[in-house]
Amino acid sequence: MKNIPQKVAHRYLRHDKKFPHVWCPGCGIGTILGDFLRAVYSSGIKKDDIVMVSGIGCSGRMPVYVDFNTLHTTHGRAIAFATGIKFSEPRLKVVVITGDGDAAAIGGNHLIHAARRNIDLTVIIINNNIYGMTGGQASPTTPLGDYATTAPYGSIEPKFDLCDLAESAGASFVARTTAYHTVEARQIFEAALNKKGCSVVETIAQCPVSYGKMNNQTSAIEMLKWQKKHTIPVKQYRKLDTEKKQGKLVRGILVDKDRKEFTARYDELVAQFNKKKDSSESEKRSEEKKHDETKEKAKKEKQEKK
């Protein structure tokens, strides 16, 4: 494990960008950004080789602050833009920063298809259980019964388990962490960056402003404590019986399997044609050679006759 110097995250920020950032006091996104930048540092990937792509919402504002190749796209489509980037230039490390509304509602289709293709993207879903930027509307991960500005009587819809979704769609790396567990988050981000294939990391973040105001949780500290108390490391979790799992979230690397990656598959297809081309060219060459040989032979014979 590489030693992480203090303030290493500052090396990755854009100093010509107009700070301060847009995030509210107590928001979890800043912590997660710090964890991610430390993971980039310890992974050793160069700034020039990273493309950070985001969608719309609070998380969507992250790329503007960081000194990578950055793309802030339309709502829900970050993974689709990222697919174009990764497929056209596979040497680039493409990271998608997205939120729960962005990835699970409007962009849900792209999430499952990226996982199905197993294209080499690092998808970090910052899940704060709410639409923060637009003022606290219910999202597909708002827990049943919780309040939102569009669920004033409590949400009557069950929530998505994003990790289960990514796993069943075929992602080769799936993990869950939180804004509280910063060391674990960094380690998971690094593992995700190093994984060849579609990596999906759900990161639980507190939103004391938009979510908290509707659900009597206006203290960021209390929400962070909740993350500590209500999540269980995966090894421990898997030993628990169903009853004890109630109300708890599993945390850590949930899936890490080897599955052929999409751009590698395409390269294999291209290589098939190159092989055919090579063999047909070498055939041609050998034919030409034969032709030349017979020509020379005839020439020699002619000369001999003379």
Residues found near other proteins in the complex (CB under 8 A): 14, 16-18, 47-49, 51, 53, 63-64, 67-74, 76-77, 79-85, 87-89, 91-92, 109-110, 113, 266, 269-270, 273-274
Q: How far is the CB of 49 from other proteins (least distance, A)?
A: 7
Q: Which two tokens stand for residue 256?
A: 């890490």
- Smallest separation, CB 266 to other proteins (Å): 7
Least distance in Å: CB of 91 to other proteins? 7
| Nearest to other proteins of 33, 220 (CB atom) | 33
Q: DSSP secondary structure string, the chain?
A: -----TTGGGGGB-TTS--S-SPPTT-SHHHHHHHHHHHHHHHT--GGGEEEEE-SSTGGGGGGGBSSEEEE-STT-HHHHHHHHHHH-TTSEEEEEEEHIIIIIITHHHHHHHHHHT-SEEEEEEE-SSBTTTTSB--TTSPTT--BTTBTT---SPPP-HHHHHHHHT-SEEEEEESS-HHHHHHHHHHHHH-SS-EEEEEE---TTHHHHHTT---HHHHHHHHHHHEEEHHHHHHS-HHHHTT-EEEEEEEE-----HHHHHHHHHHHHHHHHHHHHHHHHHHHHHHHHHHHHHHHHHHHH-
Shortest separation between residue 16's beta carbon and other proteins, angstroms: 7
Nearest to other proteins of 19, 153 (CB atom) = 19
Least Å from the CB of residue 12 to other proteins: 11
Q: Indicate the residue among 61 and 213 with the shorter CB distance to other proteins.
A: 61
User: Which is nearer to other proteins, 283 or 301 (by Cβ)?
Assistant: 283
Nearer to other proteins, 70 or 127 (CB): 70
Give me the least distance between CB of 78 and other proteins, in Å please: 8
Of the pair 244, 265, the CB lying nearest other proteins is at: 265
Least separation in angstroms between residue 109's CB and other proteins is: 5
Q: Residue holding tokens 């160069």?
A: 46
Q: Considering the complex, state which of residue 38 and residue 117 has its C-beta at the smaller distance from other proteins.
A: 117
Query: Going by DSSP bridges, is the β-strand pair 249-256/173-178 parallel, antiparallel, or unpaired?
Result: antiparallel
